[in-house]
Structure 1
Amino acid sequence: MTSRQPASRRRAVTAVATGAVLAVGVLALASCASPGASGAAGERGPSIVATTTQVGDFTRELVGDTAEVTQLLAPAQSAHSFDPSAAQLLALADADALVINGAGLEGWLDDAVSASGFDGVLIDASTGIELYGSDDHDHDHDHGDDADAAEDDHAASSDDDAHDDDHAASDDHSGHDHGDGNPHIWTDPELAEHMVHTIAHGLETVPGIDAGAVTANEDGYLGKLEALDDWIEENVDTVPVAQRLLVTNHDAFTYFIDAYDLTFVGSVIPSFDDNAEPSAAEIDDLVAKIRATGVQAVFSEASISPKAAATIASEADVTVYSGDDALYGDSLGVAGSPGETYLGSQIHNASLILESWGVTPSPLPAMLQG
C-alpha cells in the first residue's frame, strides 16, 4: 500500500523562541574554511563555526565578509557518520560561536564539545521547530502567519533587554536537546527561513559581530527563500495531487514532501540515517509499491551510493536519477555543482522531481537567477 502524507499540508513549525541561543562553548576549526577566508580571526571579525553544509551556507549568507566562517562537514559528507579528527578537536579553542543544525542530527556533537572544553555561544538552528517523529501535530503552510512571527521575533531580537537575556543564558552550560524526530528540517524552504532567522538572532549576540550587516543580509536572504518557496509551490500545484509521487534514497525529505503535498511512496533506506541498509524483504516491498502506485522514478542522493537505488529502479522498470541528477539531501554539493549552495540545491531538487512528473519548471524569479 502507498504510504501517504495527510491531505492537508502539515508544517512542523512553532514560533522561534528567543532562547534559541545557548552558550555552551567556543569552537574553532583549522580546516574546511569558508571560501576566501584568510588571515587571523581578529582581522576578519569574529570566528564562527558551523557543523553542516546547510547551516554553514546560511551562516555565510548572514555574515558576508564581516566574520570568518568555517564548517566541520565537507560537501557531500553525511552528518550521521561524522567523526571529528584529532586535528579538528585540537582546533576547538578559538572561535566565538558554533552554529548547529540540531534536532539530533549531530549525534557526535556533545563528545566533541566535551573533548574540546570550549566555552562560547552555541546557536541551535532547530530551536522552535517541531520535529516529525516526536509528536503528531497538524501544521499549515501559511506564509503570512510565519512571516509575521519571524518579524515579531526579529524585532524582539534587537531589543537590548532581549540581548541581555540571551547573554545571561550563556552561563548555562547544560547539554542541548537533541530531540527524537526527523532532523532533516532544511528540506522545507519555509523551515529554512526559520533556521536563518534563528541563526541571525544568535549571531547578533556574538561579541564583535556586525549586527547591522547580519540584519541587512538576513532580510535579503529571507526574501530569496520566500521566492524559492513560492516558485516550488506554484510549479508543484500544476501537478494533480494523486500524481505527486516520490521515492528517495533515504527518509530525508519528509518536510519537503509535507510542504508541497506529495505522496511518499517509500525510500531505498527505510531510515532517517543514511548509513542503514535495506533488507531483501524491504527492497521487495518497495519494488511492489512502485509498481502498484505507478511511480516513474527512483531518486538517489549525491552523498549516498546509488547502487541500491539503481537496483530497485531496474527491478521496478523505472528511471533512476543518480550521478549529476541525484538529489541533494543530507549534504550540499561540491564547489561548482548545482548544489553548492542551499538555494541551488533546492532548485536542482525541485526541478528534477518536477521533470520526473513530466513538468518543465517555469523560469526562476529574477532574484534567484544568476
Structure 2
Amino acid sequence: MTRHHLRTASVIGLVAAAGLALTGCSQGEQADGGDQSVHIVASTTQVADFTRNVVGDTGAEITQIVQPNQSAHDIELTAADSAAIEGADAVIVNGVDLDHIVSDAAASDKVIDTSTGITLQAGEEEDEAGEASEGEGHDHGAEDPHIWTAPENARQMVQNIADGLARTDPDHADAYQDNAQAYEARLDALDQWITTSFEPVAPDDRKFVSTHDAFGYFVKAYDITQDDSVLGSLDDHAEPSEAELQQLVAKIEATGVKAVFAEASVDPKVADRIAQESGVRLYSGDDALYGDSLGTEGSDGATYIDATVHNVTLIGQSWGLDLTAPEL
C-alpha cells in the first residue's frame, strides 16, 4: 500500500472513530437520563388532571399513580410506581394525609403538596367535640382531604403545581404559569356557573344526602346543608343485612329529602330496593357522583371539570333544576 493510501485510510479511520464516539456519547446520554424532559409523578386522578393542564405541551412526562375509578384511599404502590417515584424530578400529591404513601416514598425536596395554602375542614370521622364518630367509611384523620371538590380549592392546587414545577424546571417556568392561569380562568368560570345555577334554590332548600363523605368542601362553598346521618352506610361495598337495610331506609326517610347520592360501586339491586322502600331516588351507578376519583376517558367524569359539571347537574336535578352544561 502506498503512503498516500495509508494516509487516506488513516483519515477515514479517524473520521469513523469520531463518528462512533459521538454516537456512543449520544446513546450514553439517553441511557443515563440525557433525555432532558422532566419526569413527574402525580398521585390521584384529580392531581394528575391538574398537572396535565399545567404542563401543557412542555414535553414533561407524567406518571399517574391512582387510575380512573380507583379510590385514592386505597393506594398500593407497584414496583413500577416506586421506580417512577424514585426517578421523578417532581412528585405531586394531594396532601392532607390522603396519599402519604406516595409522598413518603419520595425525597422530600421533590414533593409538591397541592394542599398548601388551603383552609382545611375537620374530617367527617370527628364530631364537633373532636370525638370520633361511629360511622363507617374511610378514616380521614383530623382533617378532610377532599379539598378538590370546591373549585376555589382546585384553583389553589393548580397554582401550587405551577409554582412547584417552575422551581423544578425553571426553563419552562413561564409556560407553567401561563398554562395555570388559562386553566384557572376555566375554574373561575366553572365556579360562577355553579353559583348561578344554584341561585333559584333557596339556601334552606339546598339539602344534600350522600352515603360518602367526599363533598364537605363543596357543600360549604355553595351553602348546601348536608345531612350526615347516612354517611358511610354503604361505603364498605358489602351488601347490607336486612336489619342494616331497614335502618338505612329509616334514616333516609327521616332526612325528608327526595334524593340520596351513593357511590358508583353500590349494588344496583340494593340501590333499587332502598329507593323503593324509602320513596326517594337513589343516585348510583352511572348517576353516581364523582367523588374520590375521576372516570375513564370518554365518561362524564373524564376530567375534573367534566366530573364537576356532572355532579352539579345531578344535584341540581334532585332539586328540580334542569341545568345546561357550560362551555368551558
Q: Same fold (TM over 0.5)?
A: yes
The AA in structure 1 aligned to 2:212 is: H
2:120 is the alignment partner of 1:131:
yes
Q: Report the secondary structure of 2:308's partner residue.
A: helix
Q: Distance in 1 between matches of 2:101 and 2:245?
A: 30
Q: Distance in 2 between matches of 1:43 and 1:65?
A: 16
Q: Distance in 1 between matches of 2:149 and 2:245?
A: 25
Q: Distance in 1 between matches of 2:108 and 2:122?
A: 32
| CA pair 110-310 structure 1, distance change in 2 beyond 3 A | farther
Matches within 5 A, 1:43-192: 43=35, 45-66=37-58, 67-109=60-102, 112-113=105-106, 118=107, 120-133=109-122, 180-192=142-154
Q: Which has the higher contact order (CA 8 A, sep 6+)?
A: 1
Q: Distance in 1 between matches of 2:36 and 2:235?
A: 36
1:305 to 248, 266, 269: 266
| CA pair 72-255 structure 1, distance change in 2 beyond 3 A | same
Q: Distance in 1 between matches of 2:34 and 2:278?
A: 57
- In structure 2, the residue matched to 1:329 is 291
- In structure 2, the residue matched to 1:318 is 280
Q: Aligned residue pairs: how many? A: 282
2:245 is the alignment partner of 1:253:
no
- Contact in 2 for aligned 1:193/1:222 (Cα 8 Å): yes
Q: Distance in 1 between matches of 2:89 and 2:199?
A: 44
- In structure 2, the residue matched to 1:159 is none
Q: Deviation per CA, 1:154-213: give whole Å up to 9, x if none.
A: xxxxxxxxxxxxxxxxxxxxxxxx973111011111111111111111111003551111
TM-fit CA distance, 1:292: 3.1
Q: Distance in 1 between matches of 2:34 and 2:54?
A: 18
User: Which one has a bigger Cα radius of gyration?
Assistant: 2
- In structure 2, the residue matched to 1:355 is 317
Q: Report the secondary structure of 1:84's partner residue.
A: coil
The AA in structure 1 aligned to 2:307 is: S
- In structure 1, the residue matched to 2:162 is 200
- In structure 1, the residue matched to 2:186 is 224
Q: Report the secondary structure of 1:92's partner residue.
A: helix
TM-fit CA distance, 1:351: 0.3
Question: Gaps (5+ residues) in structure 2?
Answer: 1-30, 129-139
TM-score (normalised: structure 2): 0.76
Q: Distance in 2 between matches of 1:50 and 1:259?
A: 26
Q: Report the secondary structure of 1:108's partner residue.
A: helix
Q: Distance in 1 between matches of 2:151 and 2:238?
A: 29
Q: Deviation per CA, 1:79-137: give whole Å up to 9, x if none.
A: 11111123322343321000000011114335534xxxx46521001112222216999
Q: Which structure dedicates a bigger proportion of its chain to helix?
A: 2
Q: Deviation per CA, 1:330-364: give whole Å up to 9, x if none.
A: 00000100100000000000001101111011451
CA RMSD of aligned residues (A): 3.0
The AA in structure 2 aligned to 1:246 is: F
The AA in structure 2 aligned to 1:83 is: E
Q: Report the secondary structure of 1:180's partner residue.
A: coil
TM-fit CA distance, 1:242: 2.6
- Contact in 1 for aligned 2:93/2:103 (Cα 8 Å): no
Runs of 4+ in structure 1 over 4 Å off: 39-44, 134-137, 273-286, 306-311
Matches within 5 A, 1:260-279: 260-266=222-228, 268-270=230-232, 274-275=235-236
